[in-house]
Each structure stands twice: as structure tokens, then as C-alpha cells.
Amino acid sequence: MDDKNKDKKPGNPWTKSLLIWVGVLFGLVLFAQMIEGGSRTAAGDPIAYSDFVRQVDEGNVRSVTVAAAATGTQTISGKLGNGQSFRTTAPADAQVTERLIQKGVQVQAKEAEQSSFWLILLYQSLPFILILGVSFFIMRQMQKNAGSGAMGFGKSRARMLTQKEGRVTFADVAGIDEAREELQEIVEFLKDPGRFARLGGKIPKGALLVGSPGTGKTLLARAIAGEAGVPFFTISGSDFVEMFVGVGASRVRDMFEQAKKSAPCIVFIDEIDAVGRHRGAGLGNGNDEREQTLNQLLVEMDGFEANEGIIIIAATNRPDVLDPALLRPGRFDRQVVVPRPDIEGREQILGVHMKKVPLAPDVDARVIARGTPGFSGADLANLVNEAALLAARKGKRLVAMQEFEEAKDKVLMGTERKSMVMTEDEKRMTAYHEAGHAIVALHEPASDPIHKATIIPRGRALGMVMRLPERDNYSYHRDKMHANLAVAMGGRVAEEIIFGYDKVSSGASSDIQYATGLARDMVTRWGMSDALGPLQYADADEEVFLGYSMNRQRHMSNETAQLIDKEIRRIVDGGYERARTLLTEHEEQLHSLAKALLEYETLSGEEIKTILDGGTVDRGHSTKPVIPAAGSSIPKSRKPKAGFGGAAPAGA
């Protein structure tokens, strides 16, 4: 019996709504009929009573019907001598009947209609009944759509996912094997809890996924939902917090009430840092909506009443700002780090995404993975998609290695801006700027190898030297930092050597920004200053208010701040002098490489080495893009972080 009722349940709301609308329409029709019936008495054209008397006196009335009304008046209808119908109302004191009989008019009497008491009551109360019915219908609809209606302000916005379409499993997750294994144990516990309970094990109450954006935290959560086969609720941390105090806490309570009804189940909270930030860290008092919501979440996760069978999985890329009470065992028992993939992981991720793309025989996922260090899973998915779009744009049926290389350059350096107008002087300045970066990088032993150099504008840069490491690096050494500082200063130094002090451009703005930031980290975070020693002078989550560092104001004296600025200046000047020394010693190579960039505009790392060894570049055919003639202004631009170089116009 319960199953039958359960099957019929989805149709009941629609049937009830239909019956309500039918009742409303029937009431409106009845109301219109009553009004029309009250106003429709006798047939005929209405005439004035005085005109009726005149017609009687003149003998133009053939027959009449007299009906008494409830108000004491008389309703008279009939026909004139010419056959025309008429009707009129006679006053209560009029001697109508005697006058009509005297004039020989045929008279018929009609009894007054007696209205039913219930009909009158219905007639009077029908408007109020209609208003109440419509109001009741609206209230029911608001309660039905409680999550989005005004009456459901405190209802949870968690959505339960179904696996009918777009099911994701652990087979679709690659490159993060350790994180997958930790979460797979939770899935096995949900499938067979007795296996762990026999040894006294308890199911973890929560797992926090920590990782950079794009590393696959949400994908992992979807895979858990696909593998577990239990109800899976998903909600964002920002869905709890509203401008009205108490709404977020109410939504937390309602979410756990829903989860209890479906236990065992999984609740996934994305971007939990929106609601789980450290309490008392704000500039105001702690009695706000967000902290009340967090308090309720803490109570529900591990409060006085246990929520058995409910596993909370949350994701964030800011674990440093979360409240310590949220991270303790018993709430989030596990913190699963989802890192950026290494070369093996990148190859596996590329294999997952390449299954959906028709590939040419020359595509090698290992080569692409080796050339994309630091890419996250989302970056690799974007790379495969860009390659497919490039192949489709060219009308190809297969995606070849050439499209992957072009897509990688587009992702790393930006889109080529071949239509950008540059004067010959600007192109020459850009060529020497990029050649300066490349020469310094080649002669610095700790620098990464050059992947490509170009003076074709890409993205917001006028040119770029792209370097890629030979392998994944997990630490940053002092000699490499000083080498990167020298490479960053190479473009500015090359301009000064070739064009003179007064002709130095603003193209090194992003290089200077990079060098200053690197030197500041060396001094304040990594303890690489002999004058300041191995101490940390900046917190990881340094808070800035009105342009001033709150941590510096609390923990740093003016003398220390001045010494830090002096050390930053010394380190950057050291990189500048190293670049000047190298470019002065190899000025002939600087000229050779700049001329080659002006001729070919884009050179690979191997081609640069060939040119500096005295060889020539053999490409078989010209690949030089068309550069428009001079005469147009260049918009403001800024070099992206992917590499060094990029002579930028003033104001960058």
C-alpha cells in the first residue's frame, strides 16, 4: 500500500493545482452569471415612465405585463401598437393598472420573484470566498517552493545529485592517486560499514580537500558521489550567509535535517572558507551572521547530538583562514591535499581528456606533459580543448602535435596579435629587449632552458622569452633565485647598452615588478639576507588595511622596515649588475640574436643556440607573419607571468 501511494505521490501536486484553478474559474463564471441575471429582467427597450404614460394615453400600447419588485416598485414590459417591445419601472404610488384597463390595454400580472436566502448569502459572500481561495493557493505555492520563495528564507539550498546523467567515477580522476586512495576508503566504508566496525573503526565524519584552484577537488567529490551509490547533497559555502542574522544557522539546521532523513549520505560543501573563516579575525565585533552560521555548523558536525551516517566533504584553496575548531579531529578527521600533478600525473590527466578527441599519430602525451610543468588538471583540460578548437578552425579531422604546441603557446603566452601596428624602432627595441633576456638566461648556469623567444605581440605583451624547467621542481634554491633576478633585469640592461640611458623604455615594468617581489620574499619569508638573518618578517596571510600591512604595523619596527627595503634594493641591484656584466661580455651575441628575431620573429630554444654558435636557421619556408605598417598607436599592455620580456608601452 505504501509503494502504491509512493508511486502516486508525484502526480498529486499537479492534480491539486488543477482542481484549485477549476474551482476558481467556476466561481468567476457563477459570479458573472449572478450579476447578469440580476441585471436582466424583462426583454425590450427601456423607456422613461413618462413616455410610457403618454403612449398609454395616446392608445399606442397593445399589451403589458406587470411584475411587482421587492422594493415596492413595478416593472412593466409589453408591446406597442407597432410591435416594438419596451420595458419601464413604475413608481410605488402610481395607479398603473386602473389607467391601463381604462384605455383597453391587455394586462397580465406576474408574481414577484422571491430570492433564496442561501442564494443571497452566496451572492454577498462570493467575492470574499474568491479572495480567500486565491490567497490560500498562493500560500501553498510559496510553501511548495520554500527554497526560493519568501517563506523559505531559512530553508537549506542543498541540492541532491542524481546519477542519471554525467556520472563521474574514480576512473575519471587521474594524477592525484594519493588523494583518491584516501577518499576511496570512505566510499568502501559507506558500502560495507561492518567490515570496519568489526575492528572498532568508526567512519570519518568529515574530509577537507585542500588544493590550488583547478586541481580537481570538485571532481573528486563528484567521483565519490558516483562510486558510493548513496544520496549526495551539494551546496556552496556562500549559500549559507545572508544579510539577515539567523538565516545561515537556520539553513545549516535544515540541511542536516534533510541529510538525517537520507542517511547514510554525503554532504559536499564547496568553498567552505566563505563560511568557515577564523572567528574574531574581522575588524568589527564577532556577533555577525557568518560567525553564527559557523557556530551552528560546528554544533551540527560534532555537537551534543551525533549525526550518524552523515559524511561532510568540504573543499577550499585557503586552509590558512579556516577556524581551528573546524579543523580538529571529530569534525574534519582528514585533510586531503590535492596537489598540482607531476609529470606522471599530467600524462595520465592528458590521457583522460584526449580520449574524447580524435588524435593524429604524431601526438605524444609524454612530450606534452614534460613541456607543461606547473599545469593543473583544469589547465590541461583547457589545453586539450584549445588544441581541438585550433584543429577545427583549420578544417582538420584529427588533432595533431602542431595544434597542441600552438595551444600550449597560447595558454602560456597569450594569443598572437598579428594585426598590432608597430614601428620599426619599436620592433628593434623589443628585439634587443628579448635578446637581452635570452643571452643572460643562456649564460646563467642555474637558469631554466629557453623554450621560445618571440617579438610577436601576445596577450598584453609586445614580446616574450619563455623558459621551461627540464623537470618538476619542488624547492627553490638561492643560486636559481639570483639567476632569475639577472634574467629579469636582462631586458632593461640590453636597452641601456644598445640605445643609451635616455632611450630606456617602460617595457621592463613587469620585469621590475617580478624582481622586486622575488627579492622581498627572499628577505622577509625565506631568510636569505645576511643582514636580517633567517627570520620571517611577513606572514603567509598578510592582511592589508587602508594600504598598510597590519602585520608589519604590529610586528616590525621602523628600523627593521628600512633595513628590509635596503636589502631588497641590494639584491635587485646585484641582479642588475650580473646582467650588465654578462651582456657586456657577450654583446656580439646580443646583436646576432636581435637581428635573428627581427628576421624570423619567433625562435625556439634550439634555434637560438644554433644562431649563437654561428649557424643559420633552416625552416624550408617562411613563417614570418605579416606586421602592419607603422603609424598607429599601441595600447597599454603588460607582460604576463609566464616568462620574461615583453617591451611594453608607457603606462604599463
Instruction: Tell me the Ramachandran region of residue 175: left when phi exceeds 0, alpha when psi lies from -120 to 50, beta otherwise.
Output: left
Are 456 and 463 in contact by the 8 Å Cβ rule? The answer is yes
Q: For the sheet containing 61-68, what is the strand order?
A: 45-46, 85-90, 74-80, 61-68, 106-110
DSSP conformational letter for 273? G
Strands 74-80 and 310-316: unpaired
Helices and strands (DSSP H and E) totals, the chain: 22, 16
Are 519 and 612 in contact by the 8 Å Cβ rule? The answer is no
Residue in the block written with cell 390595454: 105
Are 375 and 348 in contact by the 8 Å Cβ rule? The answer is no
Q: Which of 647, 481, 491, 496 is nearest to 574 (CA)?
A: 481
Amino acid symbol at 89: T
C-alpha cell at 2: 505504501
Q: Which of 271, 347, 403, 434 is catalytic?
A: 434
Rounded Cα–Cα distance for residues 220 and 174 (Å): 10
Strand partners, 85: 79
Are 289 and 248 in contact by the 8 Å Cβ rule? The answer is yes
- CA 537: distance to chain centroid? 35
| Cα angle, residue 587 at apex, residues 582 and 593 outer, rounded to 5° | 105
Rounded Cα–Cα distance for residues 553 and 551 (Å): 5
Long-range residue pairs from 545-553, CB within 8 A, at least 24 positions apart, any chain: 545/283
434 is a catalytic site residue: yes
Would you name the residues annotated as active-site residues? 434
